[in-house]
């Protein structure tokens, strides 16, 4: 046998290492994480606002109006139960008793009226009326706010609470000169003062149809 030259071991070592180097070079470069994008302001449509409605509306104080969505449950009478919308004429239609006036009543009062009408057909009817979506009373927020849009006025709500529920202010918003448009009236609201506990009388309760404008 002939002896190995000095060059042959070096050549063998190179051949063994080459595939590893090639695999490293062929491996795809790790993907760079995309840069975080600034959050976009979310526009709250009436449908989204309804979805964010508190789980319960006080059945003894809230006054029903047209377009409100209600749920009527008659104990042990599934055929008489269901979800319905208060019509523009203020009425709802129920099996057996046909039309019932709902607008202007609280859910509790409407439940009593339905129960009284059903008593002619059902023995001791137990009726519960709840509000699924408030659409008859709303307020609106526009301008430099994070979530502008229409919101249900299901419970007494102050301007401060409304602005908080709308996600706070966008950058450069003028918090000192917020305007509430109420018919032909123009009310001023200074967020900075109220936060500091000053001039709290300006933090009035909202009314149906109010428009809050943040400049």
CATH code, 116: 3.30.1950.10
CA atoms of 68 and 134, how far apart (whole Å): 5
Same domain, 124 and 183: no
Per run of 10 residues, the mean pLDDT along the chain (length 215 residues) is 47 46 46 47 44 65 95 94 96 94 97 96 95 95 97 94 95 97 97 96 97 97
Contacts of 156 (CB under 8 A, 6+ apart): 205
Phi, psi (deg, nearest 5) at residue 41:
-70, 135
- Is 163 a domain residue? yes
Q: What pLDDT sits at residue 56?
A: 65
Sign of CA dihedral 199, 203, 204, 210: positive
- Is 7 a domain residue? no
- Is 4 a domain residue? no
Same domain, 103 and 174: no
- Is 177 a domain residue? yes
CA 106 to chain centre: 24
The closest of 153, 159, 140 to 62, measured between CA atoms, is 153
Sign of CA dihedral 62, 64, 65, 67: positive
Same domain, 156 and 176: yes
Same domain, 76 and 100: yes
Same domain, 173 and 151: yes
Strand-pairing partners, residue 212, are: 141, 180
Same domain, 79 and 100: yes
Give the residue numbers spanning the domain of 160: 138-214
pTM here?
0.66
Same domain, 129 and 189: no
Which residue stretches of 107-207 are H helix?
Answer: 107-118, 159-165, 191-195
Same domain, 121 and 163: no
- Is 33 a domain residue? no
Same domain, 143 and 197: yes
Q: What pLDDT sits at residue 110?
A: 97
Largest CA distance in the chain: 117
Locate 151 and state its tokens: 């919101």
Report the CATH number at residue 164.
3.10.560.10
Same domain, 129 and 156: no
Q: What pLDDT sits at residue 36?
A: 46
Q: What pLDDT sits at residue 30?
A: 46
Q: Which of 113, 133, 153 is the last residue of a domain?
A: 133
The closest of 76, 79, 84 to 100, measured between CA atoms, is 84
DSSP 3-state of 86: coil
Number of structural domains in the chain:
2
Same domain, 109 and 154: no
Q: Which helix (H) or strand (E) holds 172?
A: none
CA atoms of 76 and 43, how far apart (whole Å): 42
- Is 89 a domain residue? yes
CA 3 to chain centre: 85
């Amino acid at each position: 046998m002939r002896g190995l030259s000095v060059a042959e071991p070096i050549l063998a070592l190179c051949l063994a290492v080459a595939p590893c180097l090639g695999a490293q070079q062929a491996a795809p470069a790790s993907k760079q994480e995309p840069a975080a994008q600034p959050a976009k302001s979310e526009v709250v449509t009436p449908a989204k606002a309804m979805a964010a409605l508190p789980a319960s509306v006080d059945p003894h104080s809230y006054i029903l109006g047209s377009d409100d969505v209600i749920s009527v449950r008659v104990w042990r009478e599934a055929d008489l139960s269901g979800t319905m919308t208060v019509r523009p004429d203020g009425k709802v239609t129920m099996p057996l008793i046909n039309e019932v006036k709902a607008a202007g009543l609280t859910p509790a009062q409407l439940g009593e009226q339905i129960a009284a009408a059903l008593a002619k057909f059902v023995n001791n009817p137990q009726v519960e009326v709840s509000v699924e979506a408030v659409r008859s009373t709303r307020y609106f927020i526009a301008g430099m706010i994070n979530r502008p849009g229409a919101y249900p006025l299901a419970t007494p709500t102050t301007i401060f609470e409304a602005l908080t529920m709308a996600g706070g202010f966008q950058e450069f918003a003028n918090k000192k000169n917020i305007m509430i448009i109420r018919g032909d009236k123009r009310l001023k609201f200074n967020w900075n003062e109220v936060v500091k506990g000053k001039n709290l009388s300006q933090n009035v309760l909202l009314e149906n149809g109010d428009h809050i404008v943040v400049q």
